[in-house]
Amino acid sequence: MKPGPTVQVPTREDPWEMALRQFNRAADHLPLKRGIREFLVYPHRELTVNFPVHMDDGSVRVFTGYRVHHSTVLGPTKGGIRYSTHVNLNEVRALAMWMSWKCALMHLPYGGAKGGVAVEPKQLSRGELERLTRRFATEISVVVGPQSDIPAPDVGTNDQIMAWIMDTYSMHRGHSVPAVVTGKPVSIGGSAGRREATAARTRKFALEGAQVVVQGFGNVGSVAAYLLHDQGCRIVGLSDVYSGIFNPAGLDPRAVLEYVAQTGRVEGFPGTQTVTNTELLELPCDILVPAAIEGQITRANAAQIKAKIIVEGANGPTTPDADDILTDRGVFVVPDILANAGGVIVSYFEWVQDLSSLFWTEEEINARLEPIMVQAFKGVVRLAAEREVDLRTSALIYAVRRVADALLVRGIYP
């Protein structure tokens, strides 16, 4: 097993502290009793598992994984599973909280969850990856289920991994349970249109000729890049976990995808200049799409961001201190729980289709998706104007209020 290339790992603000600061800013605008406010913050349940996996060389390695349910007020929990060396409990807590607010903002009958394993998946063989996935799925099966908690892909995972999780869960139940995960291959109950839906949607902006930089070239970033390219944007910068590429004349994202399929990374794509991920964020552009991981735009680099619009494809890419700087500079930030909500909406559609065993066409999916996104965007913009706050705080006010209202209606048991 060969070690992977060196990865640039910037110092990141603790994601849980970021999520708490964002929540408190929004909660300060709401008449929440102290106990209710405290209940909305803390995760409902947290599971940490340490589990062994047989490696190809005959050795056994122990991995650590997590599954966190932040809120169950609006329904079963929903959220991705990521495989990354960055995974820790505080990161998973933060991601689960952000999922709660995202689902509430989109009026989905879900609470937020998240999970992950601390591992570099690219350093595992396919067999090792499958054994790790099936063992992790078994370990978290005590909290996962089609009516309780429904995982999906995230950083470092994909539809194949969801297929293994679905199959493992189904083997334990003695019958096929496709609704236990979303983001599956279409052949086993996945939904049409899901991959495209995960990309940040920017149709409200004048895109023709806009210069765009996309950080992250995974499920979200790659699709965002070619959709924006198709709408007339000039993609001038792209990056993966290793480094970035820049060409002011523009890049063809689909050609870059083909190059990555052959080489494993964007660096070296013909006609481009290599830049670091830090430099990529500060390139001259009209629209910046941070679609990698959390904590990328910080107090240290926010003043150097040249984009007029930031559309957050990743969860939590901008720290609260950076938000303040960007707001003062007049940068228009479309927050994560609004910009990248298309993925969880189509995950909801997939879940509904699996439960009913009735599937929709991609045209039907898009027809159902668009009104939800547009209505949420209009509502957040309207509330931001009324409260004189930025779009992130507005979106969180809307979402937190919806969860709090549902909690008060349900009551406190017993």
pLDDT tens column, 199-246? 444 444 567 889 999 999 988 899 999 999 999 999 999 999 899 999
Residue tagged active-site, from 2, 33, 102, 114: 114
What tokens appear for 11 in the block?
Answer: 């110092």
pLDDT above 90: residue 21 = yes
Judge whether residue 354 has pLDDT over 60: yes
- The mean pLDDT value of the chain amounts to 93
Return the CATH number at 276.
Answer: 3.40.50.720
Predicted confidence at residue 200, as pLDDT, reads 40
Say if residues 140 and 47 touch (Cβ distance below 8 Å): yes
> Does 132 have pLDDT greater than 50?
yes
Residue 265 confidence (pLDDT) above 90: yes
Domain harbouring 156, CATH code = 3.40.50.10860
Determine the Cα–Cα distance for residues 353 and 360; give it in Å rounded to an integer: 8
| 164 and 233 share one domain | no
Closest by CA to 325, choosing from 274, 390, 269, 268, is: 390
Confidence (pLDDT) at 1: 42
Which pTM value belongs to this model?
Answer: 0.92
114 as an active site residue: the answer is yes
Residue 196 has pLDDT above 70, yes or no: no
Per-residue confidence band for 395, with pLDDT thresholds at 50, 70 and 90? very high
Look at residue 192 in the predicted model and tell me its pLDDT: 82
Q: Is 63 helix (H, G, I), strand (E, B) or coil?
A: strand
Average pLDDT over residues 343-357: 96
Q: Are residues 145 and 70 in the same domain?
A: yes
Residues 401-414: tens digit of each pLDDT: 999 999 999 999 99
| Cα within 13 Å of Cα(88), Cβ side | 7
Domain that holds residue 51: 43-189
Same domain, residue pair 56 and 181: yes
Q: Is 248 contained in some domain? A: yes
- pLDDT computed for residue 6 by the predictor: 42
213, part of any domain: yes
Residue 401 belongs to some domain of the structure: no
The mean pLDDT value for 160-178 works out to 98
The β-bridge partners of 76 are: none
Q: Give, rounded to a whole angstrom, the gap between the first and last alpha carbons of the chain.
A: 54
Structure tokens at 270: 């013909």
**What percent of the chain has pLDDT above 70?**
94
Q: Verify that 246 and 156 share a domain, yes or no.
A: no
Residue 377 tokens, joined: 């965007």
For the cut 50, the answer to whether the pLDDT of residue 87 exceeds it is yes
Identify each DSSP E strand in 295-345 by its residue range.
309-311, 332-334
Among 130, 192, 121, 195, residue whose Cα is nearest residue 164: 130
pLDDT at position 337, please? Answer: 97
pLDDT over threshold 80, residue 198: no
Residue 289 burial (CB count, 10 A): 32
Lowest mean pLDDT of 31-45, 174-188, 194-208, 373-387, name the range: 194-208
> Is there a contact between 317 and 19 (Cβ–Cβ < 8 Å)?
no
Looking at the structure, do residues 304 and 208 belong to the same domain, yes or no? yes
Look at residues 304, 323, 339 and tell me which one is the last residue of a structural domain.
Answer: 339
Question: How many domains does the chain fold into?
Answer: 2
Does residue 377 lie in a domain region? no
Q: Is there a cis peptide before residue 414, judged by omega within 30 degrees of 0?
A: yes
Residue 27 lies in a domain: no
